[in-house]
């Protein structure tokens, strides 16, 4: 009986540890940050849809790989869209911040995966997801961004430490509803412009 109790206690402790490890992985919206970033990886069950590897252009040298995965029902991230995994490997230079562009999606979850861990992450207006490092690093880092998006496209990433380098990347494509909402927000400006043109013509 004691053996079973010991096993049950060990399993319960393991589940508690697993839960706490993913506790920081909650969706954030534009204007929010995530600190500290949980450490995890894409769980088994997600399928790779596309991968792009490119060389850095600028003051740093190295390679950058962006991979997009289908949603994994086994993950703990909380969103049900595509997951993007980014790996930077430096051969010279150093980086203090990584900016991933074109994230026009409602919310994201940010996480470290391997290599040097980011010190903080944020989601700023203009569709930029940022990972910052309190100390500029050399070597490699792998980061995860999970989204609610269903599509993806070519984008770019920036690497900064006082000077800037960039590389080709992948980013989510906004849902049709998001695009429509943006178009509706611009509609009053269009109507105002048409009225102004008509007034000028009649004047």
Task: Note whether 105 and 149 are within 8 A (CB).
Answer: yes
Q: Find where tokens 């053996």 sit.
A: 3
Per-residue CA distances from 49 to 78, 84, 170 (Å): 20, 10, 11
pTM of the model: 0.76
For the chain, give every domain's residue range. Answer: 2-181
| pLDDT tens digits for range 44-56 | 678 899 999 999 9
pLDDT at 106: 87
| pLDDT tens digits for range 150-177 | 999 999 999 999 899 999 999 999 866 4
Residue 7: pLDDT above 70? Answer: no
pLDDT at 105: 85
Mean pLDDT score across all residues of the chain:
79
pLDDT at 5: 40
pLDDT at 192: 58
pLDDT at 50: 96
């Amino acid at each position: 009986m004691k053996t079973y109790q010991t096993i049950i206690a060990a399993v319960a402790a393991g589940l508690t540890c697993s839960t706490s490890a993913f506790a920081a992985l909650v969706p954030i919206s534009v204007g929010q940050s995530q600190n500290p970033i949980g450490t995890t990886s894409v769980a088994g069950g997600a399928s790779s849809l596309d991968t792009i590897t490119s060389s850095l252009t600028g003051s740093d040298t190295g390679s950058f790989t962006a991979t997009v995965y289908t949603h994994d029902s086994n993950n703990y991230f909380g969103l049900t869209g595509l997951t993007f995994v980014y790996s930077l490997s430096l051969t010279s230079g150093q980086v203090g911040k990584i900016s991933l562009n074109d994230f026009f999606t409602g919310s994201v979850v940010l996480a470290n995966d391997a290599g040097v861990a980011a010190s903080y992450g944020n989601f700023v207006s203009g569709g930029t997801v940022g990972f910052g490092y309190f100390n500029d690093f050399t070597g490699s880092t792998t980061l995860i961004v999970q989204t609610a998006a269903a599509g993806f496209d070519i984008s770019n990433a920036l690497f900064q430490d006082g000077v800037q380098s960039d590389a080709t990347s992948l980013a989510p494509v906004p849902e049709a509803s998001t695009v429509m909402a943006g178009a509706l927000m611009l509609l009053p400006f269009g109507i105002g412009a048409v009225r102004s043109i008509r007034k000028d013509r009649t004047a």
